[in-house]
């Protein structure tokens, strides 16, 4: 029988049971939590994920998230695309806090680490003019 890769939490249930989470569940929660952070344009998935998402028509809710399972903890890797103009290190710290809090609140699991990788910067057309103006204003006068 294949080893069970889901995470289990020994919750002190009244009836004495076990709660098991599939990795995709953790990934979905992390994906949605990270997407809510201000400054995050989207999560960055692999090319295969992008193509299957386009062909399938359904939004891939685990895109850009990898979950590694230890005994009772999880390590989560998140790949994001950050909007131009936001301080990247602050956005990433917010992602880490938000994802950790959300997963621990919703599942009761312990999160060992949340590693964030910024894959690229998103320059929206509407924001680029404003961002250019900000950049010019920030430049010291010659």
**Residue 73 in contact with residue 26, Cβ under 8 Å?**
no
Residue 21 makes contact with another protein by CB under 8 A = no
Q: Which helix (H) or strand (E) holds 76?
A: strand 73-83
Cα 83 to Cα 136: distance, rounded to the nearest angstrom: 18
Size of the site for another protein (CB under 8 A): 31
Which structure tokens are listed for 5? 């890769």
Site mask for another protein (CB under 8 A), range 59-98, x = bound: ----------------xx-----x-x-xxxx--xx--xx-
Site mask for another protein (CB under 8 A), range 23-62, x = bound: ----------------------------------------
Residue 138 makes contact with another protein by CB under 8 A = yes
Tell me how far CA of residue 93 lies from CA of 1, 104, 115, 127, in angstroms.
Answer: 40, 17, 10, 23
Residue 129 makes contact with another protein by CB under 8 A = no
| The 3-state secondary structure of 92-140, one letter per residue | HHHHHHHHHHHHHHHHCCEEEEEEEEEEEEECCHHHHHHHHHHHHHHCC
Q: Which of 13, 51, 113, 130 binds another protein (CB under 8 A)?
A: 113
| Shortest CB 77 distance to another protein, Å | 9
| Shortest CB 19 distance to another protein, Å | 24
* Cα dihedral 98→104→115→82 (10° resolution): -20
Interface residues toward another protein, by CB under 8 A: 75-76, 82, 84, 86-89, 92-93, 96-97, 100, 113-121, 123, 131-132, 135-136, 138-140, 142
């Amino acid at each position: 029988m294949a080893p069970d890769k889901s995470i289990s939490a020994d919750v002190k249930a009244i009836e004495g049971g076990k709660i098991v989470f599939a990795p995709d569940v953790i990934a979905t929660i992390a994906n949605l939590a990270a997407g809510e952070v201000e400054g995050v344009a989207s999560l960055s998935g692999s090319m295969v994920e992008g193509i299957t998402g386009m062909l399938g028509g359904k939004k891939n809710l685990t895109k850009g998230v990898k979950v590694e399972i230890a005994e009772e903890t999880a390590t989560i890797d998140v790949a994001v695309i950050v909007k131009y103009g936001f301080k990247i290190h602050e956005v990433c710290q917010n992602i880490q806090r938000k994802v950790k809090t959300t997963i621990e609140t919703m599942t009761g699991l312990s999160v060992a680490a949340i590693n964030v990788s910024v894959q690229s910067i998103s320059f929206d057309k509407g924001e680029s003019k404003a961002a250019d103006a900000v950049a010019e204003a920030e430049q010291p006068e010659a």
